[in-house]
Structure 1
Amino acid sequence: MSAAAIALRHVSRRYANGVQALADVSLQAAPGAFVSLLGPSGCGKSTVLRLLAGLDAPSSGQVQRPADGVGYVFQDPTLMPWASVEANVRLPLRLRHAPRAAADAAVREALQAVGLADFARALPRELSGGMRMRASIARAMVTRPSLLLLDEPFAALDEITRFRLNQELLGLWQRDAFTALFVTHSVYEAVFLSQRVVVMGARPGRVVREITVDAPYPRDAGFRATAAYARACAEVAAALEQATEGADAR
């Protein structure tokens, strides 16, 4: 039995239209790890998340994922516009037919964790972009998943809000010890958040480099001013540039 929380072993994915999204991808993450996926657009990063979420199946190879307890945060908050923040966060528990009292407690805890306790009755249109993303994260975490998949969740936000949510996400990760797989196009975000950055090459997607970010947690704004952060960003940026050059040459 593997000690990994998640793993892809020699995974390929070819769609019915002939497009091969992934080719012989192998990667894994230990329980409680924070790993980021970085690579050119169209290299299969989101496909990896869908496979781990059980929303897609590989054409070949093996996917190891938790039997349950998977949360998914998309780039768009995908909140129900007619429902309150509380109702949006409660949705996964309703689908599981969770007992009312337990669901009430879980929703309150999730909203408190993301700083939205005072906005439980608000509608999504009444929230800022950052607050809507907090609501999306609360919805993904309300079931206390062992695996959290995040597909560029902060890409549309301004830098100040993005940095703040980066730090808040790390706080939740340290509190709950879930395994996190985070897709981003930002070198700086990947290095700030992660223990390990996996760089993928152009389609068909494959792992071309894995870089360890050997810096302690908790990490705050001061970490971004350190030489260690600058070195890690430079190393990841060089690997990404090589992967992108491969995309341009195709």
Structure 2
Amino acid sequence: MTIDIDPTTAAARPDTAAAAASPPVIAVRGAEKRFASGTQALAPVTLDIRAGEFVSLIGPSGCGKTTLLKLMAKLTEPTGGSLRWWGGPFDQVGKPDRRLAFVFQEPTLMPWARVAANVRLPLDFAGTDRRQAERRVAEALAQVELTAAARQYPRQLSGGMRMRVSIARALVTEPDLLLMDEPFGALDEFTRNRLDEDLARLSWQQRLTTVFVTHSLYEAVFLSSRVVVLAARPGRVHATFDVPEPYPRTEAFRTSDRFALMCRDLSLLLTDASVASRA
């Protein structure tokens, strides 16, 4: 089920037309997940994530959003079906133009290390040349507007700033695919809206393919080129919802009639998904 809302004036995210003819960045084919307890978290899910898309996963509690995201990151294995990354197995991830980064719900920063050292951590693990690493850290901090905080410690930062550090740590690896597990859920609405605007801009500028888990339908509409609505017990794709709005997105979109209409329609789909979850 797909809802399209007046695409006549919509601008595509970068390279989405060309991406339609190439293998998906992630191809999920009948992937399911059953835990050792016997609980089936995901029924067979088939889903394509195309280059340049910003896809949000949304649905009622227990619908398997985080489980599906972890399958995409290969942080857990499916108990059925398969996944492909850029048309091949996961062992090619990390090669040029095929880099993946994951942002967790919590910033998980090292409290004893300064901001710059926290951001540099994945480059240290990779053995990146120190001069190159420092350049990339400076670029990543500039992208999230934290250059002035480079020598501060996490305890000196607000919750929103700590999350920016976590995002910078993902960006420093120069990813092509960014997976984010509800990173702004614990923040106040003002900070969350600001970070949503920054993320939409960064994803668009960096030509990232992004998969984003959220419980907020407003956040999903604001950020996404496509929203995947999941139903629960077991988790499964209930509907997809296209958001054909130009990027970058600003407060003007959030306060527009178009935004209100899309939020209303997505809310109806979420209601349907909740009913399906109880059936």
CA distance in 2, matches of 1:152, 1:107: 24
Match of 2:74 among 54, 58, 64: 54
Number of corresponding residues:
249
Q: Secondary structure in 2 aligned to 1:233? A: helix
CA distance in 2, matches of 1:170, 1:111: 16
1:1-250 maps to which residues of 2 (within 5 A)?
3-65=23-85, 67-68=93-94, 69-247=99-277, 249=278
**Aligned 8 A contact 2:201 2:247 in 1:** no
The aligned amino acid for 2:35 is: Y
The aligned amino acid for 1:107 is: V
- 1:2 Cα deviation after fit: 5.5
**Aligned 8 A contact 2:24 2:85 in 1:** no
* Large movers: runs of 4+ above 6 Å: none
**How high is the TM-score relative to the length of structure 1?**
0.96
Q: Secondary structure in 2 aligned to 1:154? A: coil
The aligned amino acid for 1:78 is: T
Q: Which of 212-221 and 178-187 deviates more?
A: 212-221
Query: Which ranges in structure 2 are unaligned for 5 or more consecutive residues?
Result: 1-20, 87-92
The aligned amino acid for 1:189 is: E
The aligned amino acid for 1:52 is: M
**How high is the TM-score relative to the length of structure 2?**
0.86
CA distance in 2, matches of 1:129, 1:192: 21
CA distance in 2, matches of 1:72, 1:34: 14
CA distance in 2, matches of 1:175, 1:203: 38
Deviations along 1:118-154, whole A, 9 cap, x unmatched? 1111111100010000000000111111110111111
Q: CA RMSD in A?
A: 1.3
